A and B are shown apart, each in its own frame.
Chain A
């Protein structure tokens, strides 16, 4: 059973460009969470999705950021018009049930130049 997959692992974008981060949850997991981590900081919750539905997006900035988890295919975190402050590691985690243990992907390290 493959673990949570994220791609790309590293992404470099210029200010103003769009960043698309993909996450394929573990097989059988329908709960997906996105987190952001700055160097030497904790994990900041961004959004929680359950197949086609956004359950909680309280941690996601209201502008420029969006997330989806379609019926088919990976979950996508989209950042429009990136700024330098968006540079961070973005982790996706999946869980087999609500409030269950979360399995993290390797992360996407976004650098905005």
Chain B
């Protein structure tokens, strides 16, 4: 079946450092979405990417969809302690009943 992979599962950074994480799919995606879940909370939608090579920015967060629509990246500039949480990517395969397949997520911790 379709897989969405996020490796590694954990990353620790010093506050102020940049952070990049990647999401890879075994199949071509119609769109990819990113969510953030704070400890003890629920996933919150961040962004959706649809077009090949698309880049979107939200303040210090930059999201990119790969040219082949099989991978995506999330880059955080100058991390802050408020960036702590687990970031999930979720991909939709065309014709898959609009079901999203979530990656296992990457848990980011930020040392002040």
Please report A residues at the B interface, Cβ cutoff 8 Å: 31, 33, 35, 40-45, 48, 55-56, 58, 91, 93, 98-107
Residues of chain B with a CB closer than 8 A to A42's CB: 88, 102-105
* Any A CB within 8 A of the CB of B78: no
Contact B98 A98 (CB under 8 A): yes
Q: Are A99 and B31 in contact (CB under 8 A)?
A: yes
CA distance A101 to B92 in the complex (A): 11
B82 at interface (Cβ–Cβ under 8 A)? no
Contact with A along B1-45 (1 / 0, CB 8 A): 000000000000000000000000000001101010000011111
Q: Does B61 contact A (CB under 8 A)?
A: no
User: Could you name 15 residue pairs across A and B whose Cβ atoms are closer than 8 Å?
Assistant: A33-B99, A43-B102, A48-B98, A56-B97, A56-B99, A91-B42, A98-B98, A99-B30, A99-B92, A101-B33, A101-B45, A102-B33, A103-B45, A104-B42, A104-B45
Tell me how far the C-beta of A108 lies from the nearest C-beta in chain B, rounded to whole angstroms: 11
| B contact face: mostly helix, strand, loop, or mixed | strand
Chain A residues closer than 8 Å to B107, beta-carbon distance: 40
Question: Hey, what's the 0/1 contact readout for B70-112 against A, CB within 8 Å counting as 1?
Answer: 0000000000000000001010100001111111110100000
A59 to chain B: closest residue by CB: B99
Q: Are A45 and B103 in contact (CB under 8 A)?
A: no
Chain A hits for B35, CB < 8 A: 102, 104
Residue from A43, A100, A102, A105 having most chain B Cβ neighbours under 10 A: A43
Enumerate the 9 nearest inter-chain pairs by beta-carbon distance, A residue then B residue, closest first.
Answer: A42-B104, A98-B98, A99-B98, A56-B97, A43-B102, A104-B42, A101-B45, A104-B43, A99-B92
Take A41-B104, A42-B104, A99-B92 as given contacts and tell me if A48 and B45 are in contact as well, using a CB distance cutoff of 8 Å: no
- The complex places the Cα of A99 from the Cα of B44 at a distance, in Å, of 16
